[in-house]
Structure 1
């Protein structure tokens, strides 16, 4: 058994935030039907290079679309709209990321669909939400990172603002979409009714602010760009060693004393460094002392020393490095599934390990329209009607 066995999800979303959400709902057992427009399908099918396999599958598309059955419908046509209504009538969840008002224009908004299926949970993921002055703006990950304060806090102190190396606004919104769907499914157990979920990229960026927001709310000194350094904890950043870089994270006074011991520095009880607050006040001079010692040994040698003393430290891996680490296989963080166009699909694993109802991948991302006939037949369409859909 998987926790969402029996739950039907109608996925009208594209790009990343919505598909990321529905991919993992599928991993938890939901039957996810992904609806794509005819011709080009989800925009990310063309977002490359890289493309892989005999059918030139875009790696970007493959990354967020497994555990789904794929169908093609033209939502701008009456026939496509009617098919969505029929599918939504028996669905538990609908996920979409159209700009506000688009589905209403097609007669597919929450009010219309919930009148037919009061148990329907409708998740809408947009750039800025369904209300407010930015409602109608197009939303992209980079826009949300910029407006949400993330870029201002990312990068070196004397450099320009930088985006995070992964599309964190999209991924964060998709994750909160999963949380919202699970919340609404639980609420439906109590009320018997579905509901509308409004999730935005910008809202979910603000949910990440934690102590940065606190500094603003309490008019305290504001966080600033500091590269890998932490605004409050010292030492807690990347340091250059003899052959590369390591991060070192000293988050307690006990660790600070142990760290000084393995470095052979007799400064643990010095007034300038005896507490974290003191170290933060003397950050530059402390880092100069630490760097002079750390640069004398290579990363592997330091890691053996730090591991033996339980000092939190790590190499700065490339993506290649972490998937080559035996840890990734041991933790089932690499998934392989058969794929009709490329032989074997490879993707990332589900990060929650459940003892009784584990999630598991079931199928590779679908080819464009791969399951159109199958899904429409389940919805009650005749063979002749299905042929009309397939012919366009």
Structure 2
């Protein structure tokens, strides 16, 4: 496989990645895929009792999260390791971390200390619950944030009890919000010349992702209930049974409703006084579902998807992951990006879902081995072979 060319969009930036698990690495991956020099700073193997929280080094999660980076192993509890990090900080643009606030302070990585070393540095801190407040020292995990952030209360079938989302919504959202904040801070630094502290948390990100459901309470005082696969206030919008499975239907406006009725060969329903506006259809949703599914179960999903497409009615299949990647539009978008790994061979990972016309993202290199770039990075910092040997012998790298 030919080696892809790294993106040039952010190649002037150096990013220090002191994060792990998912939220922090998701943030850093944006910069890595757009060409920044990302140095993944991690403990030497065997020093960190929680080093496998993201799974095995050659596992799918690590490969998807940490491509396009260089790896430097540092034991920050040694003076030698801490000294190397200080040298790195002096020339870095961003430092991304997701330590608990109290741990960060013990390690001397609080914003005041970092700002003293490099006034242009932008520190991105992603925590479970925030850098201040009564929960600041609590460890945060995605599912805990999903529960506290309201998502589990609106997910699942009515009366089912709380249900987690099938993906790490809070982790991923916090990482992306962290990246947005960092990009804003970089733009501001171009004017002021000064770095600043970017903060987000799993809890804040999850509440922000609740979006209209949270606004429903804030603006109107309504506590949104579970709605299962139905849209909270539009119908028919949700999952409907066909003869051979299920499809998604999205009738979000009156024009869609008229087109939908024509597509299922029931144009009379469009003017039926029981269903002739969204409010009436919502109140009659149970009986309307029975009526619609009695029609849809007479034909296969492919028949209805073609009929709805011809009528410009929003609808789509419900894929398992293998079928998702077989879809012609998904293949056209090239979201599954190839990369060559020295042990795993040619594999695919998820590419950036943002296209740029001149400087697109690129998956150029696979996730490095722990410490793979120790000599290279330390050499750039001015350490000769003897100094590197001393650092290794002291347990600093």
Deviates more, 1:130-139 or 1:328-337: 328-337
Match of 1:208 in 2: 209
Q: 1:385 aligns with which of 376, 384, 387?
A: 387
Q: Shift of residue 45 of structure 1?
A: 4.5
Which whole-Å CA distance do the structure 2 matches of 1:348 and 1:389 have between them?
A: 36
Which whole-Å CA distance do the structure 1 matches of 2:284 and 2:290 have between them?
A: 10
Match of 1:23 in 2: 29
Q: Write the deviation string for residues 262-296 of structure 1: whole angstroms up to 9, x where unpaired.
A: 11222111222111111111111111111111111
Q: Shift of residue 123 of structure 1?
A: 0.2
1:131 aligns with 2:137: no
Q: Shift of residue 182 of structure 1?
A: 0.5
Q: Write the deviation string for residues 97-128 of structure 1: whole angstroms up to 9, x where unpaired.
A: 00002222122222111112100000000000
Deviates more, 1:381-390 or 1:175-184: 381-390
Structure 1 runs not aligned, ≥5 long: none
Q: Shift of residue 327 of structure 1?
A: 2.3
Which whole-Å CA distance do the structure 1 matches of 2:97 and 2:103 have between them?
A: 10
Q: Shift of residue 227 of structure 1?
A: 1.1
Q: Structure 1 residue runs of 4+, over 6 Å off? A: none
Match of 2:193 in 1: 192
Match of 1:159 in 2: 160
Q: Shift of residue 93 of structure 1?
A: 0.2
Deviates more, 1:144-153 or 1:205-214: 205-214
Q: Give the SS at the match of 1:218.
A: helix
Q: 2:312 aligns with which of 281, 296, 310?
A: 310
Given that 2:341 and 2:366 are in contact with CA atoms closer than 8 Å, whether structure 1 keeps it comes out as: yes
CA-atom RMSD in angstroms: 1.6
Match of 2:325 in 1: 323
Match of 1:5 in 2: 11
Q: Shift of residue 5 of structure 1?
A: 1.6
Q: Give the SS at the match of 1:336.
A: strand
Q: Write the deviation string for residues 70-112 of structure 1: whole angstroms up to 9, x where unpaired.
A: 1111112211111111101100000000000222212222211
Q: Shift of residue 133 of structure 1?
A: 1.2
Q: Structure 2-normalised TM-score?
A: 0.94
Q: Give the SS at the match of 1:224.
A: coil
Which whole-Å CA distance do the structure 2 matches of 1:311 and 1:40 have between them?
A: 56
Q: Write the deviation string for residues 332-383 of structure 1: whole angstroms up to 9, x where unpaired.
A: 2111112122122320111111112212122111111111111111112121
Q: Write the deviation string for residues 32-54 of structure 1: whole angstroms up to 9, x where unpaired.
A: 00011111588575655xx6xxx
Which whole-Å CA distance do the structure 1 matches of 2:78 and 2:378 have between them?
A: 16
Q: Give the SS at the match of 1:239.
A: strand
Q: Structure 1-normalised TM-score?
A: 0.95
Q: Write the deviation string for residues 182-227 of structure 1: whole angstroms up to 9, x where unpaired.
A: 0110010111100001110001111122221222123443321111
Q: Following superposition of structure 1 onto structure 2, how do residues 1-392 of structure 1 map, counting pairs within 5 Å?
A: 2-40=8-46, 45=52, 47-48=54-55, 57-265=58-266, 266-391=268-393, 392=395
Which whole-Å CA distance do the structure 1 matches of 2:389 and 2:346 have between them?
A: 30
Given that 1:45 and 1:60 are in contact with CA atoms closer than 8 Å, whether structure 2 keeps it comes out as: no
Structure 2 runs not aligned, ≥5 long: 1-6
Label 1:46 to 1:103 Cα distance change in 2 as closer, same or farther (>3 A): closer
Given that 1:44 and 1:58 are in contact with CA atoms closer than 8 Å, whether structure 2 keeps it comes out as: no
Q: Give the SS at the match of 2:290.
A: helix
Paired residues in the alignment total: 386
Given that 1:242 and 1:297 are in contact with CA atoms closer than 8 Å, whether structure 2 keeps it comes out as: yes
Which whole-Å CA distance do the structure 1 matches of 2:300 and 2:212 have between them?
A: 34
Q: Give the SS at the match of 2:366.
A: coil
Q: Write the deviation string for residues 133-182 of structure 1: whole angstroms up to 9, x where unpaired.
A: 11111100011001000011111113121110011110000110110110
Q: Shift of residue 31 of structure 1?
A: 0.5
Q: Give the SS at the match of 1:267.
A: helix
